[in-house]
Structure 1
Amino acid sequence: MSEKKKSCDCEKGSPKWMTTFTDMNMLLLTFFVLLVSMSTLDKKKILESLGSFQGSSGLLSGSRNEVSAQNIMTRINVIDQTGSSNAQTAETLRDYVKSANLSDVVSVIETKKGVSIRVLDSLLFAPGSADVQGEAIPFLRKVGTVIVDSPYYTHVEGHTDDTPSRSARFPSNWELSTARSVSVVRFLITEGVNPQSLSAGGFGEFHPLLPNITDENRARNRRVEINLVSPEFAETNKNIFEEDNGGQ
């Protein structure tokens, strides 16, 4: 009869359930941060909640990387500041649009990227042209003063309706939409905006706001969008912006 194997006197590791429990706590903490970023922020309550969370989950300490309350609050502060800056910029532009009686042709929208200024082509250009009209200059100058000293990265998009462009200068809507966005970028540069913070692109008729089935819808689709991208969003997605730094 074979001898029984001697049991190992080695120190036992952590119980198997501890790894699963720790992972679960990390997932809960991540979910908590996500909820915080999507809600109205009360920083005092958040810190209290984090303190309770950390105090009740002592197993989180050890070889795992510790996520401190201070690190989370730093990220929350960035979210706060970005949202506040975007709101102030949008409000400044809306006030100007209203005072200049441009509400029918210009709209200002806060987005997850920053602020988007949507301008109908009737303000900026003559039909089939990419030359900025004189009546658009005061508006574009205002946009320039707003962004010239700001940290925004500005991407200008040109859009058309589905009516084909067949001029010698613009054989298709690709050329027309791109030329229009470039014209706006060039104007902003003359107003002192840093060229390295600007880019331009044309989308032709392929990104309509509305179906191209009525004249009214087509008029809304012929537009230029001046997208002010917050530095926080640009940093998070810097691989997108660094490829075309300085415009295109």
Structure 2
Amino acid sequence: MADAPKCPPCKPGAPGWLATFSDLCTLLLTFFILLLSFAKTETAKYEAAIGSLRNAFGGNVLKAGEVMRPGKSPSDAPTMIDSDMPSKPFPIEFLTAEGLLDKHEINRESDAQLNQLKKMLADNELSESANVYEMPETIMVRMKDKVQFQKGSVGIDEINIQVFDHLVKMMRENNWNIMVEGHAEAGEVGKKGEDAYELSSQRALAVSKSLIQRGISADRITTIFYGDSRPQAKVNGNVSDRRVEFLLKKVDLRTEGRKVEAQ
């Protein structure tokens, strides 16, 4: 039986270090793609992405204030512990120095906009009647003054008319959206047998209609009701849970989202 023909000698392949170099280039490319994808991302979305990465890598993504130090473990891997000297977050200025990211987009609302809001409240004599909060994607103003109601009633019982008029004036002059939140007392029952949720919804609706009658566009008003699920602490022995509160927001956060397939 004849011997099988011998294969011709193979040409020498690429050196071994080339595979490692290719992996490095791929990782660098992925890193810069991630930077580009985050360039227009809000803080809340960035935090969600970090959470996904943390879950994907078994929770070993470092949080702010944590460092990696060698430790004893079954796999002899570094152990993650809290640091006595918390590490600083990744400097945004490093990215904005070369124009990669817009600092104002990362920092949500700029300081100039926040100062403009405070001046606006002062001009409308609302500085003492409002609390300002910096939210993940907007600035929120919660009015201290509330519309209050008699027990079991949906008719307005007590309101600071002057503050209410200043609020309407500011809404007319600026592109703001308002959230009207209705509340009820624990176990409260209406005159027609309405429960707490029905009472809170009717109260919020009554105030929303009052705003519309005063010239506020209906598409800038969001009406929410909580029933008796958000009670307030007692103030001088009085409970103000039969109330409607106002929240102002700089932008409308309602979006259509992205359609995905169910399967």
Q: If the length of structure 1 is used for normalisation, what is the TM-score? A: 0.60
Q: Which letter does structure 2 place at the counterpart of 1:2? A: C
Structure with bigger RCO (C-alpha 8 Å, 6+ apart): 1
1:51-110 Cα deviation digits (max 9, x unpaired): 76x5xxxxxxxxxxxxx43x51462586215433443345456x4474xxxxxxx55342
Q: Which letter does structure 2 place at the counterpart of 1:19? A: T
Q: Does 1:207 align with 2:227?
A: no
Of residues 146, 149, 152, the one that matches 2:176 is 152
Match of 2:255 in 1: 238
Structure 1: runs of 5 or more not aligned: 38-44, 55-67, 99-105, 241-248
- Please state how far the C-alpha of 1:191 moved relative to its aligned partner: 1.7
Q: Residues of 2 paired with 1:15 and 1:217: CA distance?
A: 72
Number of residue pairs aligned between Structure 1 and Structure 2: 195
Q: Is the 1:86–1:115 contact (alpha carbons within 8 Å) kept by the matching residues of 2?
A: no
Aligned-partner SS, 1:199: strand
Q: Which letter does structure 2 place at the counterpart of 1:3? A: P
Q: Residues of 1 paired with 2:170 and 2:249: CA distance?
A: 13
- Please state how far the C-alpha of 1:142 moved relative to its aligned partner: 1.5
Q: Which letter does structure 1 place at the counterpart of 2:7? A: S
* Higher Rg: 2
Match of 1:102 in 2: none
Of residues 181, 204, 214, the one that matches 1:181 is 204
1:147-187 Cα deviation digits (max 9, x unpaired): 1121111110111221321421x511112111111121111
Aligned-partner SS, 2:109: helix
Q: Does 1:15 align with 2:22?
A: yes
1:3-31 Cα deviation digits (max 9, x unpaired): 2344689xx99722022134345667859
Structure 2: runs of 5 or more not aligned: 1-5, 47-90, 258-263
Q: Is the 1:86–1:110 contact (alpha carbons within 8 Å) kept by the matching residues of 2?
A: no
Q: Does 1:2 align with 2:22?
A: no
Q: Residues of 2 paired with 1:21 and 1:51: CA distance?
A: 20
Q: Is the 1:120–1:219 contact (alpha carbons within 8 Å) kept by the matching residues of 2?
A: no
Q: Residues of 2 paired with 1:149 and 1:97: CA distance?
A: 17
Change in 2 beyond 3 A, CA 1:97/1:89: closer
Aligned-partner SS, 2:229: coil
Of residues 115, 139, 145, the one that matches 1:84 is 115
Q: Does 1:224 align with 2:256?
A: no
Change in 2 beyond 3 A, CA 1:206/1:26: same
Q: Which letter does structure 2 place at the counterpart of 1:230? A: K
1:214-244 Cα deviation digits (max 9, x unpaired): 686871433322111211xx24x4249xxxx
Match of 1:119 in 2: 145
Identical counterparts, % of pairs: 17
Match of 1:40 in 2: none
Structural mapping, 1:60-75, within 5 Å: 68-69=99-100, 72-73=102-103, 75=105
Aligned-partner SS, 2:239: helix
- Please state how far the C-alpha of 1:117 moved relative to its aligned partner: 1.5
Aligned-partner SS, 1:238: coil
1:103-148 Cα deviation digits (max 9, x unpaired): xxx5534241421224344xx4333322234754333211100111
Q: Residues of 1 paired with 2:224 and 2:92: CA distance?
A: 42
Aligned-partner SS, 2:173: coil
